[in-house]
Structure formats: C-alpha cells, structure tokens
C-alpha cells in the first residue's frame, strides 16, 4: 500500500501541506498580536499609574496652581479630542467605514458638551439633567460605533449627536425640580451610564482582538482609559472638580491614545488605498498596451484584407462568362487561393505578429503563387507581366510570399498607377529572388530613410504605411529580407524579395525573428 504509515511519517497531500502552512502562519500572527496586546496593556497601565501618582502627589500639587492646571489640561484635552474627531470623520469618508463616523459624532459631543461640564461643580437639577442627557447620548453613539446600523448610514450618528445636544440645552433651561429629577440624576443612573461607557470601551478592545488589529486595539484602549477616568471621577466624589488634576490628566491620556490609534488606522487605510490605486494604474496601463496592440493588429489585418480584396475586384464578370479555357481555370485557382489566404487572415493566423515563433518549414513552388497574383491583377486591367524560372522552389510558407507580393503590387497601383509592372522570380545562390518592378516616379528620399518602419508613407499618395512594414516582418520570420530602391533607364521602383531556396541549408542566424531586415531604405 502507498498510504501513510501508522507512525505518521507518510507524505501528505498538497492540500494538507497548504493547510498546515496556513495554520502555522495563523498561529504566528496570533502570537505576535498577543505579544503586542500584552505590551500595550503593560505600557498603558504603567503610564496611567504614573499619571495618577504624579497628579495626586502633594509635593507636585504644592508647586502648581491647581485650578489653572486643571483648566490647561482640560483645554489641551479639548484640542486633542477635536483633532481626534476630525481625524475620525476624515477616516470614515476616506476609508468608507461608517463606524468611524459614529465615533467622530461621539467625540464631538464629548468635547463640546461633556468635557466642559465635567469640570463644572454645578449641582442644580437642570445642570444634572443636561449632563445626564449628554452622557447617555455619547454612550449610544459609542455603542453604535462598535456596529453601526446600516439603515442609518454614516450620517445617523450626527443626527443623534445633534438631537442629544439640543436636548441637553433644553434640559439646562427647562428641567423642573422634584423627586423624579433627583432619582434620575442620582448616583444609580450615573453609575449605570459610566459602567455602560466602560462596557462599550471593553467591547471595542474585544472587537480589535477578534480582528487582530493593532490600531483598533489602541482605539479601544483609549476609550477604556477615557471611560476609566469617568469611573474614577464617580468613585472619588470627595474631590472638587475644579482642583482634581487626576481626572483631567487621565482623560487627556485616553484621548491621546485614541488619537494615536486613529492615526495608525487611517494611515494603514491610506497605504492600502495607495496600493490598490497603484495596482489599478498598473492594470490600466496593461489594458492600454493591450488596447494599443489590438488596434495595431486590427489596422494591419484590415490593411491586408483591403489589399487582397483589391486583387479580387473586377473579376466577377470574367468568372461568369462561361468560358472554360486555361486562363479561366488559372483565374479560378487564383481566386480560390486568394480567398483561402484572406480567410486565414480572418482566423488570426496570417499576419507576422500572430505567427508562431518557429513556423514549420515546407517547400513550395514559387511560379503558381506569382502567376495567380498576376492573373488577378491582370483581370482587373493592370499592365503586368510575370517571368519565373521553371522549377523554382522556396522554403517556408507560400502564404507569406503571396501576402508580401500582394502588398508590393498594391504599392505599385497606389504610387505608379497605370504604369507597366514586371514580376520576376529566379534563383541566386541559396536564395530565391522575387523582383517587383514598376515604371513609376520611384522613391521619394525626402520623406525618410526607412520605408519599412510602421506608419512611414507618402501622405500625398495615400496609404497607411503598414504594407511594407508587415511584409518586412513576415519575411524576417521566414529568414528572408525585403529591399526597395529607385532605378533609372527607365525610371521606376524595384522591390526585391529574398527567401531561402528549397534545397539551401537553413542559416540559424537568418532564421531567427528579425534576421535579414534591411537597416535603411528611402521611402516614397
């Protein structure tokens, strides 16, 4: 049997191995987060203990004016709280996280109403009711900051915050006196609200632990310290708020820790957005390259199809004449061959950029290819003759030669209309040479020196500058080359195609893509 042995040393499947790696990575991540959690808890506990010791030390309190120190620390806390609220709001809009919007609303309410009244020593029923409403509203916002209701969206917290603020102001001026108000503002309900604050803050820490998020952990711990300062204030009611420095100092520490956590959370979110934007930019760049290539391929394919259809133009009446002589049969064969070539182009297998890197090499007769193309052009009224050595055979793809010669003949029609054209084919050493010569004006050197480059053409004569470029690419793939030059006596243009002969040894240097491509040549 090939299964694992009983001692557990048998090989596991790839799925089991992947699961094991994933589990190991998860354990490592949990261990690192646990270490970070205990480190943060220890550091913050030491910080809070140090703040309590320093702000309650008689020696330090004797050196400072307590009431001024309380006012300064309260103002600093208000500034830190405002910055934290603004950061939470910006983070909610930037990261699309509604919970941060609820936290921002809670912080605005805390800094605008709860924090100023916390240092006041007012004991009137109206002030106690107003403070109770503000505490209760902030608690609701903190609870919803843990799991915001989808029905209310990101702006629901601001509606609740405004409603709670208005109710607090109304209670400040209209709250009646009586036993009901005394019960509502007594220690029981105040303790319930403060304990609720602590519970909401602890739930924030639990959520951060569940998510294994360091920034969320610090946000939760900041809320815990903030709620703990309120609990300290409730437990030690013997101190006067105007001179008690421990409570505002702890509150300031909690707001600073909360600000640091939000900074880390928003910073991490911004980096993630930047990475996503970078990836999107890369994808768009790649898509643009593919679109550019597709447009270029489409233009080249359309160019070749137009040239092929031009060769087929004007022969319908000849094929329907009813004659059955040798010329008619040759014309039918030429039409079928050209239609087959065009169909191959439509299938995406007939252009240089779509061809395989190492096409299969085959031998073919040159004369039927050239004779068929000449027959098509002659049927359309062109003055064209053909002279091919008997038995001339080339090595490669016959469709490539047909496509190249079609482009050369199309150039003759465009740049030398009605001029005589001669097509010759002969053997020169180990190469098959095909010449296409017209008696037109020749090449125009003023337009450039590389007629084989894409887009180089004479705008006065029309064209797109694709035909010769495609032809050079096709011949380079075949281990051949293309050359154009101007002749005199009589004046005209001579295009020379060189291909490996059928019985010639294949030169690896010539057979690789790009071999045999001429460097410069003037253009029309």
**Which runs of consecutive H residues, i.e. helices, occur in 56-184?**
58-63, 66-95, 98-109, 115-118, 125-146, 156-174, 179-184
Backbone angles phi, psi at 204, to 5 degrees: -65, -40
- Can you give the residue ranges of every domain in the chain? 18-266, 316-511
Please state whether beta strands 393-395 and 431-438 pair in parallel, antiparallel, or not at all (unpaired): unpaired
Q: Give the CA angle between residues 189, 192, 194 to the nearest 5°.
A: 110
pLDDT at 449 over 60: no
- Per residue in 391-433, pLDDT (tens digit) is 999 998 888 888 888 888 888 888 888 889 999 999 999 999 9
| Predicted local confidence at residue 10, as pLDDT | 45
Q: pLDDT: is 376 or 336 the higher one? A: 376
List all residues 6 or more positions away from 365 whose beta carbon is below 8 Å from its beta carbon: 391, 392, 393
Adjacency order of strands within the sheet including 492-500: 384-388, 421-428, 431-438, 492-500, 481-487
Quickly count helices (H) and strands (E) in the chain: 17, 7
Other beta carbons within 10 angstroms of residue 89's beta carbon come to: 20
Q: Answer for the pair 228, 258: CB distance below 8 angstroms, yes or no.
A: no
Which of the residue ranges 65-74, 221-230, 371-380, 461-470 would you say has the lowest mean pLDDT?
461-470
Q: Rounded distance, CA 106 to CA 138, Å?
A: 5
Q: pLDDT: is 229 or 451 the higher one? A: 229
CATH 3.20.20.70 fits 316-511, yes or no: no
Share of residues in the chain with pLDDT > 90 (%): 14
| Predicted local confidence at residue 87, as pLDDT | 92
Q: Rounded distance, CA 397 to CA 278, Å?
A: 45
pLDDT at 364 over 60: yes
Helix 326-346 with 246-312: angle, nearest 10 deg: 180
Q: Rounded distance, CA 41 to CA 34, Å?
A: 11
Task: Transcribe 156-220 into DSSP letters.
Answer: HHHHHHHHHHHHHHHHHHHPPPSHHHHHHTSHHHHHHHHHHHHHHHHHHHHHHHHHT-HHHHHHH
Mean pLDDT across the stretch 13-36?
66
Mean pLDDT across the stretch 441-451?
63
- Per residue in 71-128, pLDDT (tens digit) is 888 889 989 999 999 999 998 888 888 888 999 999 998 888 877 776 655 567 777 7
């Amino acid at each position: 049997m090939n299964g694992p042995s009983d001692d557990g040393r048998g090989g596991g499947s790839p799925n089991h191995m992947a699961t094991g790696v994933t589990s190991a990575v998860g354990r490592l991540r949990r261990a690192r987060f646990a270490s970070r959690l205990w480190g943060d808890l220890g550091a913050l506990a030491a910080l809070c203990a140090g703040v309590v010791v320093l702000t309650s030390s008689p020696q330090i309190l004797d050196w400072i004016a307590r009431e001024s120190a309380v006012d300064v620390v309260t103002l600093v806390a208000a500034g830190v709280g405002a910055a934290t609220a603004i950061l939470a709001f910006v983070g909610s809009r930037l990261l699309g996280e509604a919970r941060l919007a609820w936290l921002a609303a809670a912080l605005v309410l805390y800094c605008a109403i709860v924090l100023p009244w916390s240092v006041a020593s007012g004991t009137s029923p109206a002030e106690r009711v107003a403070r109770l409403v503000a505490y209760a509203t902030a608690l609701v916002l903190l609870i919803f900051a843990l799991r915001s209701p989808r029905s209310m969206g990101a702006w629901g917290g601001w509606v609740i915050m405004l409603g709670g603020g208005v109710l607090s102001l109304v209670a400040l001026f209209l709250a009646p006196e009586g036993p009901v108000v005394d019960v509502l503002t007594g220690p029981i309900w105040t303790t319930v609200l403060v304990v609720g604050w602590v519970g909401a803050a602890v739930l924030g820490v639990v959520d951060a632990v569940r998510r294994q998020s360091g920034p969320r952990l610090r946000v939760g711990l900041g809320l815990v310290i903030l709620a703990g300062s309120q609990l300290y204030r409730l437990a030690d009611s013997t101190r006067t708020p105007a001179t008690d420095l421990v409570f505002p100092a702890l509150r300031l520490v909690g707001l600073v820790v909360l600000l640091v956590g939000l900074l880390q959370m928003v910073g991490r979110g911004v980096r993630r957005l930047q990475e996503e934007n970078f990836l999107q930019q890369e994808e768009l760049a790649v898509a643009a390259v593919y679109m550019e290539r597709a447009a270029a391929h489409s233009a080249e394919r359309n160019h070749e199809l137009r040239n092929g259809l031009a060769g087929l133009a004007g022969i319908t009446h000849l094929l329907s004449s009813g004659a059955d002589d040798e010329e008619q049969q040759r014309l039918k064969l030429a039409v079928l061959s050209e239609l087959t070539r065009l169909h191959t182009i439509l299938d995406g297998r007939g252009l240089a950029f779509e061809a395989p890197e190492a096409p299969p090499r085959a031998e073919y007769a040159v004369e039927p290819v050239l004779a068929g193309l000449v027959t098509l052009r002659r049927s359309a009224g062109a003055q064209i003759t053909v002279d091919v050595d008997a038995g001339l055979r080339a090595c490669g793809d016959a469709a490539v030669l047909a496509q190249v010669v079609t482009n050369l003949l199309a150039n003759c029609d465009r740049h030398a209309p009605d001029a005589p054209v001669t097509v010759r084919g002969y053997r020169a050493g180990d190469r098959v040479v095909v010449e296409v010569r017209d008696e037109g004006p020749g090449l125009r050197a003023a337009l450039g020196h590389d007629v084989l480059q894409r887009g180089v053409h004479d705008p006065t004569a029309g064209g797109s500058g694709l035909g010769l470029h495609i032809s050079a690419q096709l011949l380079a793939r075949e281990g051949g080359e293309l050359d154009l030059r101007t002749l005199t006596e009589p004046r005209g243009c001579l295009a020379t195609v060189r291909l490996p002969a059928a019985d010639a040894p294949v030169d690896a240097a010539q057979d690789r893509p790009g071999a045999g491509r001429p460097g410069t040549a003037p253009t029309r």
